[in-house]
Structure 1
Amino acid sequence: MRDTKKHRKVLIVSASIGTGHTQAARAIEEYWMQQSPDTEITHVDFLATDTLSFDNLLKETYIKMIDVFPMMYDLVYRFSQGERKGGMIQTVLSWLLKRRMLRLIRQESPDVVIFTHPFPCGAACILKRQNLIDVPLIGVITDFAVHQFWVYPQLDAYYVGTEVMVDELVKAGIDCSKIHVTGIPVRRHFFDKAIAQYALTKPVRVLVMGGGLGLGSLESALQRLDEVAAIDEFTVVTGRNTSLYEALLDMKERMQTPVRVYGYTTDIPELMAEAALLVTKPGALTCMEAVTVGIPMVFFNAIPGQEEANALLLEQKGCARWARDIHNLEDVVTALLINPERLQNMSQQARAWHVDGAANIVSSVEAMLSAKCTFETIGDLQENTPQG
């Protein structure tokens, strides 16, 4: 008889295109280890490979397209969003990556595989369709809109951020019973730094971020925000973009407002908690981290497609304002900083909405695995029961 409380082996697969997918994976891993230390969890960045590999070329091309050619990204996004066109691109990417995915799954022999990025997910779904693997596959969507790249009938479960995404997946042909609204997973440190009661106090610090890769018009944004008299100090995070970091170190000497410049840092929860306002690109993971802390947000330079959907949702929730044109950024920020009551309300709306996505996902997966083990145990008993 199998033990339904057996030692779990969990494989979490992310992809280092931006930091959101990886941070979401770490949030799940972190919470699971706190709750169940005996669980064996392996977290793999599927695109962390040698410089000359196809996978790394794919990642670097994707990142450069977003950073340097946003209009090209817009065209690719909209071209691939349709079922027929998106399915064609899905198939190409999945077949190119499936051999290494098969090697990984055979090597790890997990009880379940959890994906936070659609590229490796697609490769695993091809393998399952071909009956080369039979392990449960789970997709965690780290945006607030569903892209065609995530639509795979071979996935056993979807974890999504909003009810609207359930409708989007059902319209794409996914069985409703597979879809669970859990929220996007956020690391524990952000919960530890949640603001109990927001208040606009002196000095007024504004945190400016461009995503974990430091993409976006940060220099232009800072130049405009430097004209806002209500700001006493900037904290700027450039992520892993070392050239931007160096440029901002030079630029801050010419600014009238004091600036602290950080590269990649793990202190984001503390920086959010001490700031009056976050000005950022609307990556979904950054948004949910800010929602968890309870800091009001202003969005700029949204990437067409997913980030525009993120910005619209957060604005509708009352947690943020979206400066759709960067030329209006200083006006949007000024209007908020001279209205402390509105900032306080935005903070309250954020804290009222946030959910513990990692906890919800881990609880659901554990229940799924326990049910699977129980079903297999019943099957074993039936096979071993003498007949007649």
Structure 2
Amino acid sequence: MKKKILIFYSSIGYGHISAALAVKEFILKKNPDTVVVLKDIRDFMNPLWRKIDEKLYWYIAGNTNKFFDLIFFNFIKKGIGTDFLSLPNDYPEKKVLKFINEMSPDSILATHYGSAQILAMLREKGYLKGIKIGWLHTDFFKGYFPRISKRIDKTFLGHNKLENMWLLSNIPNTKIETTGIPVNIEKTSIKKIINKYKLDETLPTVLIISGKEGVGNYVELIKNIVEICDFPMQIIAVCGKNKIQQLKLEGYKCNLSKNIKLKILGLIPHSELMGIMSFSNVLITKAGGVTPIEAIKVGIPLILLNVIAGHEKKNALFLKRLGVAKLSDNINDTGKYVKSILSSEEEKEKMYKAQEKFRKNFNEDKIVDFLLNEKKEILPTDFGAEYGKPVRNIHVILSKLDNIYPSDIEILLSYSTSIIPQRIIWENPFGHIAIRINKTVYSANYIANPEVDSNFLQHISLSEYLYGVLPFSPSQIHTNTYGMAYGRETIGLRVQGISNEKINLMLKEIIEIENEFKLKKIKWDKIKFNCADVVDRILSAGGYGEYKPKKIKIPAMPLDSFEKAKKIFENDKSIKTVLINYRKITGSNALYSYCKFPLSLKQPIRSIGYIITDSKTKLELSVNNYVQVYFDNDRLDLERLRKINFSRKSVNLLNYKILTESFKYKIQLPKMDLLKINMLNFIKRG
């Protein structure tokens, strides 16, 4: 049966599609029967927004370096400090998922971070089972991207130094490979290139490329080269689709002396561009991920321009440190680099050796083998089910959490859960709440029977409460009374700084509750005495809040009890608090496997909002620590996000730019789009 490979790329710039085409060629060389489908991830965008986005990206990237840098670094901070599923993306999940399901590929490769991120998000939500997902990272910096790598099967990196960065970010070595960035250097007759473009073989040749958009100031660049280099030369300026750049150069060309030959080209076939590159003596280009790699593979002295800040500046600095390129921070420095390279054999030889060393990272076969041959590991069918296989690494991660965030008590708010997906989980839309004191979780058991059970409350460890798969008494329902994480999310409020005296008062109250249960004075009642009543009563005994038996028939709500406790503890300056999200185990085969944020009868408007929008709540967005497993993995992991503050000034500046540029390009922005615009809409589309 023929294998089908789906490759997502982005059409911003040429680098991502170039890498995708190169991978396709390598696949077909190895297995000609393979069906390889290339898809532009931007096809899923709203057409109007796509047009606006592309024009603004190139304007901001090409004309406002400092501003672009500000946006870029805020983008990276956002990626480091935000819940992964809340990261912005321009590609509608449902459309992407529908396309993938229709294509039914065996493997998927992304050559752009945006497509890799949307695939990782779909994985996090439990989709794309049985499909291998890889990502070819076509840049040379880390950013927040190891977070993507955790959620997919394999990430292919351009250099072994990047692999070390990923390993230091706790990415398993089984999930990363150093392969270089695949590029396709088509074999082209140099003689045909010389004849077609009427090139002079006797002159040193400088080639200038700045992406298919031809960004930068070619005229000023060439002026500087001509001024510094006091010898005849040939300059080939490839302007891509930039007609304005070509017109400016045509106007400037007549001012050049006779010993300078200037060839002005537009968008030319890639094979011919590679031929011209092989013919030339020096390449000057921007620091996109792919063109510099093509130069290194060809083996040509390389000068990188600082025309696009942010990610391209990061690429340039990385390549400069390795000695494979010079970096011209200022356009007026370019001429001196051209002169030093063309005038010094020692300079050229030094760069050639660095490039030769760099080429040792190239191993495209690893990508092809992953897509065609490597078997995907599948979790056991009983993973996360009652009596089945539990997650691994539980005690390591919980101990690590205790070391980082020691606590005296922890309030545990669990989401509502159901067997089938529901907009409102009717079985229990209000979730559950429990309290951990020291090492023991005390949780009201709604099916406890005094004839059978000695206790009304569960007295279990946090690991059993969240990750247990074996019932420890007859009155248990998996994911409802124990093993919660296999069927639902739980947010924990860890509290440190409570006195021993207050702890003992709470423990004494627990004993009192158990005695009342044995004497049949109390029993579970969803209105009169439920899990929220239990937690309120225990906390009240320690002096935190006030518990009174209800006079009206409105049940206590777990969400209200949690938020009330959170407010009390956060207002006490002697106490430290931290929120932990114990994520639902992705890939679990528990009977109850769908969950929703708990609702509250006492907060009807807020609850209706959750039901309608499915958006993250303020409480969820305030969490910075996640205990979770990644799809198709059975190891528990701790992900800690960095708290960040965004500059409102930078957001306002960006919105101002958007408005002014929309008038320039005669684009009318819908009001709702303007409200949604923020710095992340224009970052690193390439």
| CA positional deviation for 1:131 | 1.7
Question: SS at 1:25's partner residue?
Answer: helix
Q: How has the CA–CA distance of structure 1 residues 96 and 30 changed in structure 2, closer, same or farther, with 3 Å as cutoff?
A: closer
Residue number in structure 2 paired with 1:238: 239
Q: Could you tell me which amino acid in structure 2 is paired with residue 218 of structure 1?
A: Y
Moved more, 275-284 or 302-311: 302-311
**Other-structure match for 2:449:** none
Aligned residues: 362
For 2:75 and 2:170, the matched residues in 1 are separated by 17
Q: Which amino acid aligns with 2:143?
A: H
CA–CA distance in 2 between the matches of 1:173 and 1:57?
Answer: 38
Give the distance between the partners of 2:2 and 2:138, measured in 1 at CA: 28
Contact 1:95–1:126 (CA under 8 A) maintained in structure 2: no
Deviations 1:285-337 (A, max 9, x none): 11110011100011222533322232233233332211222222212221222
**Distance in structure 2 (CA, Å) of the matches to 1:283 and 1:290:** 12
Superposed, 1:372-387 pairs within 5 Å as 372=376
| 1:136 maps onto 2:132 in alignment | yes
How far, CA to CA, are the matches of 1:114 and 1:364 in structure 2?
A: 10
Q: Distance in 2 between matches of 1:139 and 1:232?
A: 42
**Deviation of residue 37 (structure 1)?**
0.8
Partner of 2:34: 39
Q: Which moved more, 1:345-354 or 1:326-335?
A: 345-354
What TM-score, normalized by structure 2, do the two folds share?
0.49
Alignment of 1:303-382 (within 5 A): 303-355=308-360, 356-368=362-374, 371-372=375-376
Deviation at 1:168, TM superposition (A): 2.5
Return the structure number with greater relative CO, CA threshold 8 A, min gap 6: 1
Q: 1:197 aligns to what?
A: none
* Partner of residue 385, structure 1: none
1:186 and 1:357 in contact (8 A); partners too: no
Amino acid at match of 1:354: R
Tell me, yes or no, if structure 1 residue 268 matches structure 2 residue 247. no
Offset, 1:363: 2.6
> 2:509 matched to which residue of 1?
none
Q: CA deviation at 1:192?
A: 9.4
Q: Where do 5+ consecutive residues of structure 1 fail to align?
A: 1-5, 194-200, 380-388
Give 1:259's match in structure 2, choosing from 259, 262, 265: 262
Q: Which residue of 1 aligns with 2:166?
A: 169
CA contact (8 A) 1:184 1:285 kept: yes
- 1:145 matched to 2:148? The reply is no
Partner Cα distance (1:339, 1:76) in 2: 39
**Match in the other structure for 2:58:** 63
Measure the CA separation in 1 of the matches of 2:43 and 2:247.
Answer: 25
- Measure, in 2, the Cα distance between the counterparts of 1:90 and 1:346: 43
State the 1:68 CA deviation.
2.2
Q: 1:190 deviation in Å?
A: 6.6
> Aligned in 2, Cα 1:87/1:367: closer, same or farther, shift over 3 Å?
farther
Name 1:220's counterpart in structure 2.
220
Counterpart-to-counterpart distance in 1, 2:97 and 2:346: 54
Amino acid at match of 2:23: I
Amino acid corresponding to residue 224 of structure 2 in structure 1: R
Q: Identity across aligned pairs (percent)?
A: 23
The structure with the largest helix share of the pair is 1
Q: Distance in 2 between matches of 1:42 and 1:162?
A: 27
Matched, 1:184 2:181: yes
Q: Which moved more, 1:235-244 or 1:347-356?
A: 347-356
Give the conservation status (yes or no) of the 8 Å contact 1:80–1:89.
no
Q: 1:172 to 1:115 in 2, by over 3 A?
A: same
Larger radius of gyration between Structure 1 and Structure 2: 2
| 1:103 CA drift (Å) | 2.1
How far apart are 1:173 and its partner, in Å?
A: 4.4
Match among 3, 9, 12 for residue 4 of structure 2: 9
SS at match of 2:52: helix
TM-score (normalizing by structure 1): 0.85
Aligned residue identity for 1:166: E
The separation in 2 between residues aligned to 1:191 and 1:143, in whole angstroms, is 27
Query: Following TM superposition, by how much is the alpha carbon of 1:48 offset from its aligned partner in structure 2, in angstroms?
Result: 4.3
- The separation in 1 between residues aligned to 2:9 and 2:26, in whole angstroms, is 16
1:184 counterpart letter in structure 2: I
2:21 is matched with which residue? 26
Can you give the 5+ residue segments of structure 2 that lack an aligned partner in the other structure?
A: 191-200, 382-686
Q: Which residue of 1 aligns with 2:94?
A: 99
Task: Write out per-residue CA displacement over residues 32-89 of structure 1, whole angstroms, 9 at most, x where no aligned residue.
Answer: 1122110000001111478834344333332222112222210111112236556469
Q: For 1:364, give the aligned amino acid.
A: F
CA RMSD, 1 decimal: 2.7
Q: Distance in 1 between matches of 2:353 and 2:309?
A: 28
SS at match of 1:159: strand
Distance 1:69 1:89 in 2: 29
Residue pair 1:272, 1:278 contacting (<8 A) in 2 also: yes
Q: 2:119 aligns with which of 118, 124, 140?
A: 124
Answer whether contact 1:190 1:289 (CA < 8 A) is retained: no
Contact 1:293/1:351 (CA < 8 Å) preserved in 2? no
Other structure's SS at 2:139 match? coil
Alpha-carbon separation, structure 1, partners of 2:95 and 2:160: 34
Equivalent residues of 1:234, 1:260 under 8 A apart: yes
